[in-house]
Amino acid sequence: MSKIIVRGGQRLTGNVRVSGAKNAVLPILAATLLASEGESIIQDVPFLDDVITIQQVLTALGGKLTYDNEIMRISAEELTSYEAPYEWVRKMRASFLVMGPLLARLGCVRISLPGGCAIGTRPIDQHLKGFEAMGAEIVLGQGFIEARSTGKLRGAKIYLDYASVGATENIMMAASLAQGTTTIENAAKEPEIVDLANYLNAMGAKVRGAGTGIIRIEGVEMLKGARHTVIPDRVEAGTFMIAAAITGGDVHVEGAICDHLTPVISKLEEMGVVIEETDNGLRVTAPKKLKSVDVKTLPYPGFPTDMQSQMMALLLVAEGTSLVTETVFENRFMHVEEFQKMSAQIKIEGRTAIVSGSTALTGAKVTATDLRAGAALLCAGLMADGETELTGLHHVDRGYVDITGKLAALGADISRVDDTPAPAPIYKVLEGVAAALEEAEPVVLAAMSPEPAAKREKEVPRLKAQPTWA
């Protein structure tokens, strides 16, 4: 089993470079499917397992890709399938973001239900509500969703019951090729939404208001590939800020954008951490003693749920008791049990964790229960007495580029032991699967349909380019 071993007690100092944002690059790569002409060149694409997964999805749909030196070139001129394969959608929830682009571009899509994951049930009702309002017919069955539209999608006024990041993105992408104007009310305001809107606009879309609660998208006839640089990952930046603070360190987080990190900066400052904006990032210096604070996760610009567990690690060593309330996901306290193995005293009452501070953390064998939990346990390990052994690295590899190497470069006593060799061989496996997919049988949309196959098949809009197997 692969593991990361960290021995606590080293003060972190130096410079760490933040990679491109996972949560920005995934929707942007999905959006490349909207371009019926030209190549997209996406820069600062982080080398993450999630990126490899979406790369496989795009390839299975007929996209032509190269990925080298953090630059991905994608041509989606000739799509060959309207089915997002189960093995990839199951692996990563964000694969579901290809639904909007495929529906808008091809008029039909078949995609497996992304399903719940450990942090919550994560329904997709708001995505589907948006597509239906735009005229799509949606059929659910046997773990799959099929959607189709007769002719183009139509612009609509869509009020989201919750400011869902994914639903806002999926609807924004679909609306870019719809007929007429779409208004998304109670839209998510995350920086990743703005980054996606910027890429769509570079492709020729007309998206206005991204970053506010009301987004207007005037549909256009067609979109072309475009060049775009992904924003730096605010969650990775925040994680290194916590790692610096927990060790009383002095770290420059290169690439971090202060505006994107306002709630994290504010809370750290309340605790006594000093944060200074620099020309190309921010500098974190921390005193030995920190004060407790209460934290409540909320949609942006509230405190991000993706920083909740890392913040909890820091609160464990602050003086006093802190309340951490999770309002975004209903099951995002699984790391509490792991922290308890490291001598933490935390009590959960409903959606609030009561965190006792001034903990003398002790090293232990712990498991990453989700991506951010893994990072949080590493942060705790940096301050723990003795050795902490973290497993469950498949979660961490989804969203952090070489976290072990980056922490080691800052002075942490940390190393990774891989059971199965890391990146290059994984590529080989994926290449094999991609080759197998190319050989795969064509999708029979009619199989899902309650109507006679012949009638249904006639209604399925034809792909612009015929599948290679046709």
Ligand X SMILES: C=C(OP(=O)(O)O)C(=O)O
The C-alpha atoms of residue 254 and residue 250 are separated, in whole angstroms, by 13
* Residue number with CB closer to ligand X (171 or 226): 171
Task: For 181, list phi and psi in degrees, rounded to 5.
Answer: -105, 135
- Residue 375 interacting partner from ligand UD1, ligand X, none (CB closer than 5 to 8 Å by kind): none
Minimum CB–partner distance for residue 433 and ligand X (Å): 20
β-strands 321-325, 295-296 pairing = parallel
226 versus 253: smaller Cβ distance to ligand X: 253
In the three-class reduction of DSSP (H, G, I as helix; E, B as strand; rest coil), residue 418 is classed as coil
HSE of 53, CA atoms in CB hemisphere, 13 A = 26
Q: Nearest distance from residue 88's CB to ligand UD1, in Å?
A: 14
Annotation: binding site: 22-23, 93, 122-126, 306, 328
In sequence order, what E strands does 104-226 have? 108-112, 137-141, 144-148, 157-159, 181-185, 206-208, 214-218, 223-224
Separation in Å, CA 221 to CA 104, 156, 178, 211, 425: 11, 17, 8, 25, 42
- Which residues in this chain contact ligand UD1 in the complex, by CB under 6 A? 23, 26, 93-94, 120, 122-127, 162, 164-167, 188, 192, 305-306, 328-329
Taking the complex as a whole, how short is the minimal distance between the CB of residue 11 and ligand X, in angstroms? 27
3-state class of 305 per DSSP? helix
Q: How far is the CB of 261 from ligand X (least distance, A)?
A: 15
Least CB distance to ligand X at residue 371 (A): 5
124 contacts which partner out of ligand UD1, ligand X, none, CB within 5 to 8 A by kind?
A: ligand UD1
Residue (269 or 330) nearer to ligand X, CB: 330
CB 362 within 8 A of CB 384: yes
Farthest CA pair distance, the chain: 72
308 binds, among ligand UD1, ligand X, none (CB under 5 to 8 A by kind): none
Q: Please, which residue, 44 or 306, has the CB nearer to ligand X?
A: 306
Residue 167 binding target from ligand UD1, ligand X, none, CB below 5 to 8 Å by type: ligand UD1
CB 291 within 8 Å of CB 270: yes
Contact of residue 162 among ligand UD1, ligand X, none (CB under 5-8 Å per partner type): ligand UD1
Of 267 and 416, nearer to ligand UD1 (C-beta) is 267
Angle between helices 191-203 and 165-176 (to 10 degrees): 10
Total residues found in the chain within this entry: 470
CB of 399 to ligand X, least distance (A): 5
List the alpha helices (DSSP H) in 318-400: 335-341, 371-383, 393-399
Q: Which residue is nearest to ligand X (CB)?
A: 306
11 binds, among ligand UD1, ligand X, none (CB under 5 to 8 A by kind): none
Q: Which residues are part of a known binding site for UDP-N-acetyl-alpha-D-glucosamine?
A: 93, 122-126, 306, 328
Angle at 174 between CA 101 and CA 449, to 5 degrees: 70
User: Residue 7: exposed, middle, or buried by beta-carbon count in 10 A (0-12, 13-18, 19+)?
Assistant: middle
108 is catalytic: no
Residue nearest to ligand UD1 (CB): 166
Measured at the alpha carbon of residue 212, what is the angle toward residues 111 and 266, in degrees to the nearest 5? 105
Q: Which residues bind ligand X (CB under 6 A)?
A: 23, 93-94, 306, 371-372, 399
* Two tokens, residue 2: 């692969």
Beta carbon nearer to ligand UD1, 40 or 126: 126
Q: Spot the catalytic one: 108, 117, 258, 379.
A: 117
Q: How far apart are CA 342 and CA 400, in angstroms?
A: 23
Residues at the annotated binding site for phosphoenolpyruvate?
Answer: 22-23
Q: Which does 372 bind (CB under 5 to 8 A by kind): ligand X, ligand UD1, none?
A: ligand X
Task: Mention every residue, 6+ apart, whose C-beta is less than 8 A from residue 134.
Answer: 149, 153, 154, 155, 156, 158, 171, 174, 175, 178, 182
Residue closer to ligand X (CB basis): 318 or 371: 371
Closest residue by Cα to residue 341 from 364, 310, 357: 364
Q: Give the H/E segment covering residue 251.
A: strand 250-254
Taking the complex as a whole, the smallest distance from the CB of residue 461 to ligand X amounts, in Å, to 30
Residues with a known catalytic role: 117
